[in-house]
Each structure stands twice: as structure tokens, then as C-alpha cells.
Amino acid sequence: MHISQPIKMRNLAAVLVALLVAGSCCCDAAAIGRVQLTHTGTGSLTGREALQRMAHRSKARAKRLLRRGTSAPLSPGPLADHDDPHTEYLIHLGIGTPPQPVVLTFDTGSDLTWTQCQPCLSCFDQALPHFALSQSSTFGHFLCESAECQHLPYWSCGGRPWGNGSCVYTYFYGDKSLTNGRLGFDTFTFAGSGTGRPSSVPGQPFGCGFFNSGSFKNNETGIAGFGRGPLSLPSRLKLDNFSHCFTTHPFNAAGVSKPSSLLLDLPANLYRGARGAVQTTPLLQNPRVPTIYYLSLKGITVGRTRLPVPESAFALASNGTGGTIIDSGSSLTTVPPQVHRLLKAEFASQLVKAGGASVDADNDQCFTVTPGARLEVPKLVLHFEGATLDLPRENYIFKFQEAGNTTICLAFLQGQSMTTIGNFQQQNLHVLYDLANNKLSFVHAQCDKL
């Protein structure tokens, strides 16, 4: 077949760009070591409103992950954005030479890393300046023939306004959020490494977003994709493993948020500050949704009662539906309807029978605590293949004051066929993603002391 000369030249240029990026991506992830995560913030809602919004966002995200295997912050819904209780964690780094600061949502449910860029033609408000690619001496862009471009779900070849032949991406999300821009590469600089000095990694792909919409707070500028796909940061940094340790959620700490840790290729740190035995379970893969981290959940125990639920309720089906995932971007854990019904009923039965609490009139998985009562909250345990997660009380109970009374709520939600383990259940849990061996390990830890 005859190929025109312009196409040949573009293909040659694409090969040269690929070689340039490949040659510059030889990085020592261990030199990066430790990266600090912060929390997006709690907003100004009451405890009940915050729980309702967290539930709304978690359910909507679970639907989106089930449908597409991609993620993004959710539409704000009926409340104003400044009141929206974002519950994600943020990674701070610099892009370009010299480094320009960006603050990205840490997301294990997506692959593309992107930030808002100049000229930002339609963008959400952010406190930091938009990334100025013209001010970086190391910025380059991928051509549409490049492998990196074709890893994207939606891409096209840019015309003159974009740069002829450049890779133009559009990343859609199930809640109508999106980012649209040009796929480029540049040096990423991580602060707070194990040596205390910034570490720079050249040639990292990222989306330079010129049209972006969705619900974001002004202290974030985009998303850092930590999924399993070829464009994700773990893949591009060639990590054998990474781990995170989320500090106590601001809702559980009177609004006080302490930094969390993200560790890259530092498995020995899993045992530092551990409180108990390290548990390990296989990481499963779903060919239909290759980005997401799946686990083998076998059952749930409330108090001393194992719920009468077949393992198939949590299992990944042969057609790619169902299954159990662990997700940094979801707030609360969601379980299938039949599991939630049994979980809620057993928890309420044990709690009310023990005395000291009555079922809330507005929400049957919330309970009003009797003043002065000594409350006995049933334990909650998740059983995985080869591992057991005994959840601390603050990881499944949402507690708030209302009209002079104390209310507690079970922080597990009814979802669809897929079970999603959210970040509220991962507080003060050091979680290690062993990518080289397809295993996930976890241990209780005091994450603000890690």
C-alpha cells in the first residue's frame, strides 16, 4: 500500500519522539521515595449533610467505575461547590523546567495524569497559576501516531491550533465531567523524598487540559492517575510497588487534617509503625477494566456473626461484572444490595439489643445514642483470600453531634453489583500495592507517625 510522504514524515517524527521519551524515562523511583499527600478539605456542612454528600459521591463514583473503569470528581449536585465535602487526597509535585507547582487528586481508579494549562479556554477555578507550557524548556508533545496517544480511549490528530499531528485527547467521565487538551511530556519534580531533596523524573506523559469541567476545589489542578494502565504514573515510573497510609479523616478528627504518606518502591516501610500482623491478599485483574485494582473478598462478619452471603456476591464474574475493588477516590465502601440489606440488619440488631442506642427516624443505618450510655458497637471484619481486615471503629462508624444528641451511622452503602472499598475504610491502614507480584498487603498503622 502506498503511503504518502507527509504520513511517513509524521511516523518518523513519532518514532523520534518515542525514542527521546524512552531514553529520558530511565528513572530511579527509589530516589523519589516518599511523597506527601494532603486532604482536599471538609467544607462547611453539618455532620448529617456531609455524610449524605459523601454517600452521594461514593455511589455515583461506584456506578461510573462499574460502567467505564475511569474516574473523576463528581458533579456538585444541589449544594454549592464550596460546601461540597470532597474526600480525596492530593499529591503535590512540580511539572516542567523550572518546576511549576500542581496539586493533583491521587486516584487509583484512573490512568491519565493531567493538569489545567494555559491558555485555559474553559476551566474550573484554581488558586495556583495554570501550567504554562511555553515557560518550560523541557516540554514536548506526543504525535497522534505515538503509542502513548493510542493508549488513550479517545484521541485525534490536532490541526494548526493544536500543533499539526499532535495528540489531542478527550477524557470523558460518567458524570459528564471531562478534560480535553494535548498529550505532552515533561519533567516531574517530587518534593519531600526520602533524602529530603526534590527528585526529578524527565519525560513523563501528562494531559495539558485546555477545556476541563467537573466538581473540583480551588486547591486542586487535575488528577494523578495511579491505575494499572500503561499511561499511569506507576507504569511510567516503572514501579515494582507503591504504598499509601491515609491519616485520620478530617470528619473523624474535628476538622484537623494531617498529611498522609505515599511511598514509591519502599516495601520495607510497610513494617514501620505497624500495629499488628501484615496481611496479604492477591491482586486480581479484570481484562474488561484493566485500570482498576481488584481483590478477592470472601465475606463479612458483624460482631461474631458471619453474614450468610455466598462468596459469589463479591466475586468477579467471567463477563467482567461484579467483583471487589480498592479505590482511593471513593469515600465510603459500597456493597451489593443483598449484602447491604443483611449487613445493615445484623448491625442494627446487635447494636440496639446491646442497649444505649435507637434507630434514627431519618436514616435506618444511623442511630441516636442515649445520653450517658456506654455504647457497645459491633465489630466489623472483612475476609479476603488469605487475609483478614479487622476494621477499627472509626473506619466504619461516622459520628456527629446534632441538636445536642450524638448520632452514629454505619459508613457502608448500598451499591450495585460491584463492591468498592473506599478511603474512609482505609484510614490509618498502610496499604502496599505489590505490582511485581500482583499482591496487596496491609497493616494497621498510625499514619501521621509514619
Would strands 297-302 and 305-306 be described as parallel, antiparallel, or unpaired?
antiparallel
With H, G, I as helix, E, B as strand and everything else as coil, classify residue 312: helix
Which residue's C-alpha cell is 523524598? 193
d(CA 191, CA 215): 27
Cβ-in-10-Å burial (0-12, 13-18, 19+) of 139 comes to: buried
Catalytic residue among 84, 175, 327, 434: 327
d(CA 314, CA 62): 14
Tell me the three cell numbers of residue 97: 523546567
- The answer to whether 111 is a known catalytic residue is no
d(CA 420, CA 335): 7
- The answer to whether 125 is a known catalytic residue is no
d(CA 36, CA 345): 39
Count of helices and strands (H, E) across the chain: 6, 28
Cβ-in-10-Å burial (0-12, 13-18, 19+) of 403 comes to: exposed
With H, G, I as helix, E, B as strand and everything else as coil, classify residue 313: helix
Which residue's C-alpha cell is 474550573? 124
Catalytic residue among 107, 175, 186, 434: 107
Residue among 132, 187, 142 nearest 167 (CA): 142
Among all residues, which ones are annotated catalytic?
107, 327
